[in-house]
Amino acid sequence: MADNNADWWRTGVVYQVYVRSFADGNGDGTGDIAGLRQRLGYLSELGVDALWMNPWYASPLRDGGYDVADYRRIDERFGTTEEVEALIAEAHDLGIRIIADLVPNHTSSDHVWFQEALASEPGSAARDRYMFRKGKGENGELPPTNWTAVFGGSAWEPVGDGWWYLHLFDVSQPDLNWENEEVRAEFDSVFRFWLDRGVDGFRIDVAHGMIKDPAFPDVEKVGAILESETTEDHPFWDRDGVHEINRRWRAILNEYEDRMMVAEAWVAPHRLPLYLRSDEYHQSFNFDLLGAEWGAGEFTEVIGTAVTAAEEIGAASTWVLSNHDVMRHATRYGLAKGSAWRKWPVTGPVDALDVEVGQRRARAACLITMSLPGSTYVYQGEELGLPEVWDLPEDVLDDPTWERSGHAEKGRDGCRVPIPWTESGPSFGFGDAEPWLPQPEMFGSLSAQAQEGDSGSMLGLYRAAIAARKEHFVDDQSCEMLDLGADVLSYRRGAIQVVVNMGTSSIALPDGEVLLMSIAPDSTSAGPGQLAVDCAAWVIALS
Ligand code: NOJ
């Protein structure tokens, strides 16, 4: 690595690469490692410190790769282990770290272990690696519990002999039995396999789900599709037993230099610090900001709480506005207040979406996350201002949510549409072939090429904000929340005051030199000394 900073993850800008949709180097319509390697220069210019790679392992891709068939092999559509090693070396040469995504809660049903389990008797060692239970009813014809899968439908699937296996997600994602020592040992080895190949860290999928209540009680409240319940003593989310596993992994990471792990843990805010104890995770995503309604009250509350909690436990906050599982924030912020954006309606927002407001707020949001203490995750394409593609035709939908919800919810494909690199040409420069999800016409005008050289573009704003963040917001991690009234989010970071107008009329900017403003130069400005609605500014206070 170019720099040697053991705590790089505390303040880094991490760029999430959904490899399937980033860049297609071999012309088969699916993004791959070759395509990513060709675009490393773009990422270096953007100024990111690390890449979080969504799962790259061999997989039938029934859940976009979160259904792993072989944890030690790269899916052939994405490339080879040698290409990944080359990617790691090239990224390191540019000072960019690589975070792999590890999926320990479940395997693919194509995994050799699961195939072996299906071919084995109830009670066998092969079945004990998964969560098999006898069904209820005279002949086991009823599911063992009333648990529902995150993608909809029962969380249990019968295997024909009166026994059922648990899948908290898709039917093709059987849950592993983390009480089984062989499972634990296997993951120790998988960790080492990738650490030995040079990955700098891991994003751990469903970090709050591995341990289940051995009594297998029914749940009182059936979970909503694509949401985790955060009730106390839930039979499968956030059980205390996961912490022992966290500690085991941390001990392995500690054998290597400068490595980290970040938890995807959808847990109640007061339980999150438990994952961040010094012998557990380095970081856990803060999804509270992602879930917050646009408005100064809610943003101030979420940010203030997270900053205080991080200071108390000595951890770094980890900010996220978008990822491959939620509606892109440029669209989310353009919806009417109170819109149920998690329940992505089949017909799309049609009249309810204000595209311009969404873009304006997304620009302001960039200046929020880039100026907060801790680290920030950027989901590929948010730096281009890509919106959710809400009108994908039904026959291309790939997210298991679509089928498992009985076509009631379209699911997450709309935020996974391949990136437009050029203004025109086949798949807007994504690759030579028809992309695995179709891109809308307007993607050309949002392409990297269309924004290149335009400092007023979203890309220009991200580049400028990341560069200025490095200069002003990394060394001093203090953050003081300021009260500028009910419509304004404001905080001080060292010499700089961050101000965001989340109300309905212009406000006066504080005195000082404006370092960066979210509003594009050609937008209607609020006039000198003013900050327009839905805009943010970084102001260097007069000394
Ligand atoms: C969370 C991942 O982000 C999501 O994409 C996936 O479907 C589930 N975990 C199941 O692995």
- How far apart are the CA of 52 and the centre of ligand 1, in A? 14
| Residue bearing the CA closest to ligand 1, atom 2 | 205
Query: Ligand 1, from 169, 236, 409: best to mutate by most atoms within 8 Å of Cβ?
Result: 169
Q: How far is the CA of 205 from the centre of ligand 1 (A)?
A: 7
Atom of ligand 1 nearest to the CA of 151: 7
Quote the tokens at residue 522. 């050609």
Q: Which residues line ligand 1 (CB under 6 A)?
A: 63, 66, 103, 169, 205-206, 264, 324-325
State the Cα–Cα distance between residues 325 and 453, nearest whole angstrom. Answer: 31
Taking the CA of residue 63 as reference, the ligand 1 atom at the shortest distance is 7
Cα Rg for the chain, rounded, in angstroms?
23
What was the pLDDT predicted at 221? 84
Q: What share of the chain is helix, strand, coil (3-state, %, to 5)?
A: 30, 15, 55
Under DSSP, is residue 261 helix (H, G, I), strand (E, B) or coil? Answer: strand
Instruction: Quote the pLDDT of residue 236.
Output: 96
Q: Are 448 and 459 in contact (CB under 8 A)?
A: yes
Cα 192 to ligand 1 centre (Å): 23
- List the structure tokens of 207: 């970090």
Runs of H (alpha helix) within 206-322? 242-254, 272-275, 287-291, 296-313
pLDDT band at 525, cuts 50/70/90? low
Residue 506 has pLDDT above 80, yes or no: yes
Nearest CA to ligand 1 atom 6: 66
In which band, very low, low, confident or very high, does the pLDDT at 2 lie, cut at 50, 70 and 90? very low
Output the average pLDDT for the chain. 94
Residue nearest to atom 11 of ligand 1 (CA): 66
Atom of ligand 1 nearest to the CA of 106: 11
Give the pLDDT of residue 269: 83
What pLDDT is stored for residue 345 in this prediction?
58
Strands (E), 11-79: 13-17, 50-53, 57-58, 70-74
Q: Which atom of ligand 1 is nearest to the CA of 400?
A: 7
Q: What are the residue numbers of the active site?
A: 205, 255
Using pLDDT thresholds of 50, 70 and 90, give the confidence band for residue 492: very high
Q: What is the pLDDT of residue 528?
A: 80
H or E element in which residue 441 lies = none
Contact between 518 and 464 under an 8 Å Cβ cutoff? The reply is no
- CA 66 to ligand 1 centroid distance, Å: 6
Kindly give the distance from the C-alpha atom of residue 68 to the centroid of ligand 1, in angstroms, as a whole number: 11
Nearest CA to ligand 1 atom 3: 325
